[in-house]
């Protein structure tokens, strides 16, 4: 019960993410987010930003693919929409009544696994920077496409604000899977980022043509630029051909 004069206090009670990595690098993610709504900011609904967008070295929008499969609230289908967010797209739902609500979000994404010379790894942020309230508990489980021995896996996480390297978490490993659980509550704009390293060959990198297709779908100006260069090149070639004299008799 609220004391006299106390303000409404919405809470994000728990946030759990299960990330299944396919052999082709595609991720299938299921997130369970439990909220306690008390008439505050969360009354307008859940806003879950997918902070998957960054700028590449050429200044282009390197946004990874995102396919939303399902959104439920308290076990029932929930209407949702994709909106523009601070760092990518976000799933937005409708208004909420007071009380406890649990969302489940299912989506697929790709281009999330980093391929390095001696290992591969997944970096996954669990921080809702657009939420005006904190999160009491964050956890995650990463499942590999094959039962890689736990001794060959690496698990690390960072807690706190963006760029911080706090260590307020516990990790657990078994063959083919790594789990994480926070050990502190997080104030607004803080959370946990996880890193799971594993041997090369477990996940195949996407072919160049698929990466190019995803990139051009998010950067139509690049495709338009290539088209203009092709047209200009053809024009200059035809002009040069008309100006050059033909072979002498």
Q: Residue 50: pLDDT above 70? A: yes
Span 83-125, pLDDT tens digits: 876 666 889 999 999 999 999 999 999 888 999 999 999 999 9
pLDDT at position 32: 98
What is the share, in percent, of the chain residues with pLDDT greater than 70?
73
Which range has highest mean pLDDT (61-75, 79-93, 126-140, 156-170)?
156-170
pLDDT at position 128: 77
Q: Calculate the CA dihedral of residues 139, 142, 147, 151 and round it to 10 degrees.
A: -70
Q: Max CA-CA distance within the chain? A: 106
Q: Which residue has the higher pLDDT, 204 or 248?
A: 204
DSSP code, position 88: S
Q: Calculate the CA dihedral of residues 233, 235, 239, 240 and round it to 10 degrees.
A: 10
Entry pTM: 0.78
Nearest to 199 by CA among 125, 158, 156, 146: 146
Q: How many C-alpha atoms does 177 have within 13 Å on its Cβ side?
A: 10
Q: Residue 165: pLDDT above 70? A: yes
Pairing of strands 89-93, 138-143: unpaired
User: What span, in angstroms and rounded, lies between the C-alpha atoms of 172 and 64?
Assistant: 28
pLDDT mean over 160-185: 95
Look at 28-37, 110-119, 213-222 and tell me which has the smallest mean pLDDT: 213-222
pLDDT mean over 139-143: 98
Span 56-93, pLDDT tens digits: 444 455 567 889 999 999 999 999 999 876 666 889 99
Please give the mean pLDDT across all residues of the chain. 82
pLDDT band at 31 (very low <50, low <70, confident <90, very high): very high
């Amino acid at each position: 019960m609220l004391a006299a004069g106390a303000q409404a206090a919405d809470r994000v009670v728990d946030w759990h993410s299960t990330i299944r990595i396919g052999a082709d690098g595609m991720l299938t993610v299921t997130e369970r987010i439990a909220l306690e709504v008390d008439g505050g900011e969360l009354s307008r609904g859940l806003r879950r930003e997918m902070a998957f967008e960054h700028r590449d070295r050429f200044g282009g929008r390197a946004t990874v693919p995102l396919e939303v499969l399902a959104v439920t609230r308290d076990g029932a289908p929930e209407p949702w929409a994709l909106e523009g967010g601070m760092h990518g797209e976000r799933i937005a739902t409708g208004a909420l009544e007071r009380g406890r609500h649990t969302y489940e979000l299912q989506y697929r994404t790709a281009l999330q696994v980093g391929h390095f010379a001696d290992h591969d790894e997944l970096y996954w942020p669990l921080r809702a920077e657009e939420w005006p309230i904190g999160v009491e508990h964050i956890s995650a489980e990463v499942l590999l496409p094959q039962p890689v021995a736990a001794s060959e896996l690496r698990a690390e996480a960072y807690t706190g604000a963006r760029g911080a390297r706090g260590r307020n978490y516990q990790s657990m490993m078994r063959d083919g899977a790594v789990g994480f659980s926070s050990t502190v509550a997080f104030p607004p704009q803080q959370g946990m980022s996880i890193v799971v390293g594993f041997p090369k060959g477990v996940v195949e990198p996407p072919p160049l043509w698929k990466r190019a297709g995803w990139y051009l779908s998010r950067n139509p100006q690049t495709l338009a630029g290539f088209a203009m260069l092709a047209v200009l090149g053809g024009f200059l070639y035809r002009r040069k051909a008309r100006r050059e004299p033909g072979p002498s008799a």
